Amino acid sequence: MNIIKQIHKDFNDYLERLFDISPNLTTKTSFTINADEKKSEFGDINSNAAMILAKELGKRPMEVAELIAGGFTHEMVKQVALHPPGFLNIYLTEEALQETAKQMLEQKKTFFKIYDKSKENINIEFVSANPTGPLHVGHGRGAIIGDVLANVLNFAGQKATKEFYINNAGAQMKKLGISFKIRCKQALGQDAQLPEEAYHGEYLLELAKPLAAQEGKTLLEKDHQFFADYAEKHMLDAIKETLKDYGVTFDVWFPETKLHNAGEIDKALKILHKNGYLYKKDGATWFKATEFGDDKDRVLIKADGQYTYASADVAYMQDKIDRGFNHLTMILGHDHHSYLMRLKCIQKALGLDQHPLDVILYQLVKMKQSGDLVRMSKRAGNIVTLRGAIDTVGKDVARFFFLNRKADAQLEFNVDLALKKTDENPVYYVQYAYVRTKSILQKAQENKAYTDISTKDIQYITQNEAMLIKKMAALRSIIETICTTNQTHLLTYYVLELANMFHSYYGKNRVMDEEHIDRSRGRLLLISILKDTFETVSTLLGISCPEKM
């Protein structure tokens, strides 16, 4: 157990003994590392315990704070101070900071682990685009949120599976086949026009040209299913290739057709029928969604016997649970807001509401170049693709930019900024910080006085390094917060702050100084921990750690 976590545990144990309260109550209190230089006068750790417990105890927050501060002692705590309206500011000893640095050096990534053995088996479904065209930049935002969330959960000790639901059944696939056949006719020189509701993107024409050249006019003798299947396969292959180049790989590719072909939909609907939540009306089968808070009941089977999208949703949710998942997470565009209610209704009707269901809705992406917003429209064919974004700015920049905003806030992707190779570009700024740590450590190897840096050099860590040590240690709480709130953007915010703090430290402190060898060894030890921390965060973000810049 790392030293900060141990102090936190001892602090909570003290609260439980002092006020005779349960651990459930202390878990509601905060214990936050203060790594903000502007707030350094408020201690090394801040807690709102007094304010949280005051209501439960029927006392004033400052009165509770005085009781806590007056009795809590710890060998690694120098002082506990009060600040209105009841904050507790905890000041650590220099030994505590040195021990924290020592543990980070020794434990490396393990220092930031949260769970030893998790009982949760989490399914994270994201992107799940129809295989009717290339991925657009909006998909890029959903993809990075899901990918980084899974990275963080698995790193922390959870078990998370990344899943892509292939919407390859229903009317859109029929429309894809029609659209592609018309494009093949055009590729063969025929005067064929796409209907308004067809897919108008040039990508289908580009797909049709080599096929038409290979097959000739005999191509048009093939049935509709051939065109639908051919286009679906190639569109899905293109989606997979784009995601691969984006650094996103899925554990499971789940086709909707599997639900139809394996009888999973009938099986799931029988559960709803058994539970009494289906009824017949006008020849159709309806789900009593209003009983669970929806604004209207939903048709599951049309009068002509065709399943609706909602029926597949029922089967898909049941299938995930049947495969052993006990925590479901879905990442969807903001236009699926009403879909969230439908999912919650389905979950309750199937009797699965004991399993957590998280739905992360992300807002629109706007591409801005040369000061102007780039218009996007999939139907019209002037789609701004994720492939285009990756090819233009690179994988690292694309991932970082798409993540560097809270999911429920609109994101404006500034292409001009993304192309800059200066400190203005946040990715360049972070990667340059990492390269600087490597360069310093490599240069140190040229001097025998700075070789074999080890835990013995912890003693040379001083208050000058305190803020950086705390900032690095705070990564653990960032990871823990992401695991509980799904707020993946916190990781980009964190690494930018860490890079800024390091650049500032480097500008004020000479790392290698022949007149102060011991102090230099302590600072080199700090740089070594920094390098490891940058590598850890970069791995979680899925961006590279360049050798030089």
pLDDT of 335 reads 86
The mean per-residue pLDDT over the stretch 8-26 comes to 95
pLDDT at residue 375 in the model: 67
**Which amino acid type is present at position 473?**
A
- Per-residue pLDDT at 383: 54
Average pLDDT on 8-12 reads 96
Q: Evaluate if residue 302 carries a pLDDT over 90.
A: yes
What share of the chain has pLDDT > 70, as a percent? Answer: 98
The residues with which 88 forms a beta bridge, in sequence order, are 47, 82
Position 170 scores a pLDDT of: 86
**Average pLDDT, integer, range 225-244:** 97
pLDDT, average across residues 462-475: 94
Average pLDDT score over residue span 45-54: 96
Q: Per-residue pLDDT averaged across 236-240, rounded?
A: 98
Residue 346 · residue 357 · CB < 8 Å: no
Please state, in angstroms and rounded to a whole number, the distance separating the CA atoms of residues 15 and 25. 10
225 token code pair? 């299913």
Q: What is the structure's pLDDT at 146?
A: 98
Evaluate if residue 394 carries a pLDDT over 50: yes
According to the model, what pLDDT value does residue 115 have?
A: 79
463: pLDDT strictly greater than 90:
no
Q: What is the mean pLDDT of the chain?
A: 94
Q: What is the pTM of this model?
A: 0.94
The CA distance from 33 to 90, in Å, is 9
Average pLDDT over residues 358-368: 93
On the question of pLDDT at 54 being above 70, the answer is yes
pLDDT (0 to 100) of residue 368 = 87
**Which DSSP string do the residues of 404-419 spell out, in sequence order?**
SS-TTS-EEEEHHHHT
Position 376 scores a pLDDT of 57
What tens digit of pLDDT does each residue of 507-520 get? 999 999 999 999 99
Residues in the chain: 549
| Pairwise CA distance, residues 149 & 160, whole Å | 9
Give the angle subtended at the CA of 436 by the CAs of 430 and 442, to the nearest 5°. 145
CATH, domain 426-541, list 3.90.1300.10, 1.10.357.10, 1.10.730.10, 3.40.50.2000: 1.10.730.10
- Nearest CA to 248 out of 389, 141, 323 is that of 141
- May I ask the CATH class of domain 3-92? alpha beta
pLDDT at 416: 93
Give the C-alpha separation, 327 to 538, whole Å.
26
Task: Using the predicted structure, report yes or no on whether residue 467 has a pLDDT greater than 80.
Answer: yes
Mean pLDDT of 357-383: 77
Residue 364 has pLDDT above 80, yes or no: yes
Token digits of residue 187: 């590729």
Residue pair 392/345 in contact by the 8 Å Cβ criterion: no
Q: Given this model, what pLDDT does residue 2 score?
A: 87
Rounded to whole angstroms, how far apart are CA atoms 162 and 437? 33
* Tokens matching residue 40: 């350094």
**How does residue 381 score in pLDDT terms, banded at 50, 70 and 90?**
very low
What are the C-alpha distances in Å from 29 to residues 34, 69, 223, 390?
A: 15, 15, 65, 42
Are the beta carbons of 403 and 547 closer than 8 angstroms?
no
Q: Tokens standing for 61?
A: 């927050």
Report the pLDDT averaged over residues 278-306: 96
Domain boundaries, the chain: 3-92, 128-166+248-362, 426-541
- What percentage of the chain has pLDDT greater than the value 90? 90
* Architecture of the domain defined by 128-166+248-362: 3-Layer(aba) Sandwich (3.40)
Average pLDDT score over residue span 417-445: 96
In this predicted model, what pLDDT tens digit does every residue of 81-135 receive, in sequence order? Answer: 999 999 999 999 999 999 999 999 999 999 998 877 778 999 999 999 999 999 9
Of residues 523 and 371, more confidence is placed in 523
